[in-house]
Structure 1
Amino acid sequence: MTKSIRLNLENKQATNLSENLLEVKNLKTYYPIKGGFFRRTIGVVKAVDDVSFEIKRGETLGLVGESGCGKSTTGRTILRLLEPTSGQILFDGKDITYLRGRELREARRDFQMVFQDPYASLNPMQMVGDIVSEPIQNYTKKSRKQIMDEVMDLLERVGLPEDAYYKYAHEFSGGQRQRIGIARALALRPKLIVADEPVSALDVSVQSQVLNLLKELQQDFDLTYLFIAHDLSVVKHMSDRIGVMYLGNLVEIADKKSIYQEPLHPYTQALISAIPEPDPRKKKERIVLQGDVPSPVNPPSGCPFHTRCPVAKEECSIQKPSLKEVKPGHKVACLLY
C-alpha cells in the first residue's frame, strides 16, 4: 500500500470518527426499589432499558413517546445528571460514561440543558445577569467587564432587552424565562444542548417563537440538539431524525419524513394516527390502543409493546426484538420485520 493511499484511508477514518458528536450504546438507567426493615433492594424501575443511538454534528434528533417512557431520563443520563446503570456514552469521541470530579466538570462545558419548567429552573434570588454569567465565572477567568458584555450580547441574541440584566426571573413571563434559560445554556458555547420539552409549559402563542429562536441559534452557534417532546407536530418542526421510545426502549428511529409518511412500528403508527388533521374534509383513520402502559417495575416479557399491539403474535410475548436497520437509515425493533 502506497503512502498516499494509506494517508487517504486514515483521513477518511478520522472523518468517519468525527461525524457523530454523540453515541449512546446499550444505555440502561435503573432505579432501585427499597423495601423491608433493612431497606434492601427488592426490585428495579427500568426507566431506560438498552437504548442505542447516535447524533451527528449539527443535526437535531427528536425523542418522542408517552409520559413515563424514559425520554427525560435518557437526556439527563447522557448529561450525567443521572448515573447510568450500564452502557456507554461517547461524546465527541470521548467516553464520559463514568467520569468523576474535575474530568466530568470539564466535560460539561460542551453540553448543556434547557429544562422543561422555566419557573422552577431559575434561581428566584438571583438577577438575570447573575444567572447567565454564573457558568462563565465558574469556567473562565474573564474580567467583570468582559463577562457583562458577553451576557448582554447573549440576552440580545435570545430576544431580551438590556435592562433584563438587572431584573429578577419572577418579573418575566414564561416565554421570557425560557429565553433566560436558553441564554444560560449558551453561556459556555456548548456543542450539544439537550432540550427537555422546552415549550410544553408555555402558551401556544409563545411556543412557535421559542422554537424558531432555537432553530436560529442552532445556525448561529453551530449547535447539535437532542430535542425531547411529546408533541409530534413540534418534533416534526424541529428535528432532522426522530426516535420513538416506549417503556424505556427505543422502538424506531429514522429521518422525520420516513417516520411521518411510512412509520413501521405499530406504536409509531398509533402515535402518527393521533396527530390532529387541520383540514376537516380529510378523513383520517385513528389507531386506538387498548389497555394501559405496563409498569417499568415489572415490564412484560418479549416485546414491551405486545400487550397493547393490535398485530401481536404469540412469539412477540416470548422474544424481545432488537433495533435493526430494515431500510437505509430506518431502524425498528419489531418481529414483523
Structure 2
Amino acid sequence: MSPEEELAKLREQNRLLHATINDLKEKMDKEQPCINEHNFVIDLACPGETEQVGREETSEESDLDGVNTAVLAKVVLNSSGEQQVEVWPKLSCENAFDLTLFTDLQLITKTNETENKPILFGLHSELVRIMPGRELQCTKIVVPEWQQKYAVQCRGQTVQLRCRVKIVRSFKHIETEIDEEGSEEIEVGGKRICVNLAYLSSWSAEFRNGSHTRSRVINELSETDFEEMLEVIYPSSKPITSWNFEKMLNIAKKLKMPKLTRRCEIFLNDEEKHNLTEFQTLLLADTFSLNAIKTIVLERISSTEMLRSKVLMNEKYLQFTPDMKKDIHARYVELDLQEKTAVEI
C-alpha cells in the first residue's frame, strides 16, 4: 500500500471515528441532567420568653423548570428551651420525576438594626421522587440552636432565613413504575432480598432468560453490592459515583445489564466526576468491553508524546488485551502520520 493510500485509509478511519463520537455525545447529551436553583428569603419570628413555637412562614413560590418549589420554615424551642429552626422545601409537578434536592441555609440576625455576619448551616442533600398532582413536603432540616450570643437577642424579634435550593433531575420523566405486588424473594450471598423480577428482567439478560428466576439464588455477588445495584436501577435512581461505578460495572457484566453499563459509561465520560487517568480509564474499558469509552479516551490523546507518556510507558501496559494494544497502536500510527504531515506542510 502506497503512503497516499495509507493516508486515505487513516483519514476514512478518522472520519468514522469522529462520526461515532458525535453520535455517542448526542446520545449522552440527551441524558444530561437539568439543573435549576433559586434563592428563597423568609422572615422568621423568633419565640418570645413565654412562647414555645414560632409562626410557620412560607416563601414565595418559584417554578424551577416545571417543578413548583417553595420553602417553609419556623423557629421552635427544643426540649432544653433553646431555639432551633425547622426548614422543609415543598415541591409539586405535573409529571413524575426523580430528582436530587440540594439546600443550603444562612441565617441573618441583627444587632441595633445592623446585620450580623451570616450564620452558615452547610449543605443538605436529599433524593426524592415527585409524583404528578401530588404536593411533596421534603424531609425537615433541623438547624440546631444558633450561636448563644445571638439567641437571647433574637427572642421576640424577626430574623431572616436565606435558603438556596438547587434541583438536579433528568429531562426524561419516569416511564417505568414498579408493581409492588409483583415482588418476589431471591437469595443473594445467603440473604433473602425482595425484588421485582419483571423490572429486574427488563435490565438483566440473566434474569430475562430465566437462569436466575428459576433458582432464585445468586452466589457470585454480595448482598450489599446487589442492594446498591437495585438502588441505582430502581426509579429512585441512586447516582453512579466514584465509590460505586466499578461495583456497578462488575454486576452489569455478571448479570448482562447493558443499560447499567451504559450509565457507567456516561459517568466515565464526564471527567469532572472522577479523577481517573487515561490509562486507568482504558484499563476499565478493556476489562468491561466499554468500546465507546475506549474510542473517546484515545481520541482525547492528541499527540504521540502524550500517548507514550500516559499509556505506552505505563508499567502495567502489558495487562492490556491484544485487541486493546492493537487499537492503541493504530491511534499511535494515526497521530504519527498527522505530525509528520504537519511538519512537511
**Which TM-score band (shorter chain)?**
under 0.3
Output the TM-score relative to the length of structure 2: 0.27
Between structures 1 and 2, the one with greater helix share: 2
Larger Rg: 2
Between structures 1 and 2, the one with greater strand share: 2
Output the TM-score relative to the length of structure 1: 0.28
